[in-house]
Amino acid sequence: MKKISDKVIGRLSLYRRILRETLILGTRKLFSYQLANSAGISAAQVRQDLMILGYMGSPTQGYDVHGLLECIEEFLDDPAGQSVALVGIGNLGRAILDYFSGRRPNLSIDAAFDINPEKTNGVIHSCRCYHLDQLLQVIEEKGILTAIITVPADQAQGVADRLVRAGIRGILNFAPVRVKVPPDVFVQDIDIAMVLEKVAYFSRPK
C-alpha cells in the first residue's frame, strides 16, 4: 500500500469536517473548487487528494456530498473503532475528555491516567481513570495504540517512554517539549504557547 503523508491525512480530515457542515446546511452536491475554497487550498489539490480514495465526481454536478463523506470516513476510520489513552488529568486533560465525550463514535478516549490518587479510580466524562502504574496493563488489555500526553514538560519524555513500551504507535503530545520516540511511532506535537505566539506576531500591525 502506498504510504500516505500526514499532510494528506490532515486535509482529508478537514474535508470531512467541511462536508459534515455542508450536509447540515442541506447541500447535496459540491464542486472541487467549492471544497477547495472552504479548505483554503487549490481545487487541483482537492482533486489530487480525492484520487487517492478512488472517488470520482461529475464534471457537471460535482461530488455527491454524502457519498464523498462516507468514502472519507471509510478511509480514515477503523470500522471496529479505535481506543485512545490520555495521560495527565489536569485542566487540559479534563477539557480534552469533555470535548471528545461522545463526539467520535469510532475514536474514543477509553482510559485516562495520572499519578495523583485523587484523580484516579473514578470516571470523568464517561472515561475510566487509572493510576499511571496501571498503564501497561490497561493499554494491553484494551488494545490501545494511540495516546494523548497532557503532562508537564519534565514528565513528558518519561510518559512517552512508558507509552512506547506499552505498544503505543501514535502520540498526540500537548506537553511544551518534544519527545523522542522510535521511528515507527508517529508523534504530533502541539505547543499551544508557540502557536499563540505565532498568531500574536501576525496580528500585530506591520
**How far, in Å, CA of 199 to CA of 19, rounded?**
27
The packing angle between helices 43-53 and 65-76, to 10°, is 60
Q: What is the pTM of this model?
A: 0.85
As a whole number of angstroms, the distance between CA 159 and CA 202 comes to: 34
Q: Give pLDDT tens digits for 12-56.
A: 999 999 999 999 999 999 999 999 999 999 999 999 999 999 888
Cell of 204: 500585530
Q: What's the pLDDT at 2?
A: 59
Domains of the chain: 6-75 (1.10.10.10), 82-194 (3.40.50.720)
Tens-place pLDDT, residues 137-173: 999 999 999 999 999 999 999 999 999 999 999 999 9
SS3 82: strand
Q: How far is CA 37 from the centre of its chain?
A: 23
Classify residue 125 as left (phi > 0), alpha (psi -120 to 50) or beta.
left
pLDDT at 60 over 90: no
Q: Could you count the other beta carbons within 10 Å of the beta carbon of residue 22?
A: 20
Do 106 and 81 contact (CB within 8 A), yes or no?
yes
CB 86 within 8 A of CB 112: yes
Give, for 106, the enclosing helix (H) or strand (E): none
**Whole-number Å distance between alpha carbons of 206 and 202:** 8
Give the C-alpha separation, 33 to 35, whole Å: 5
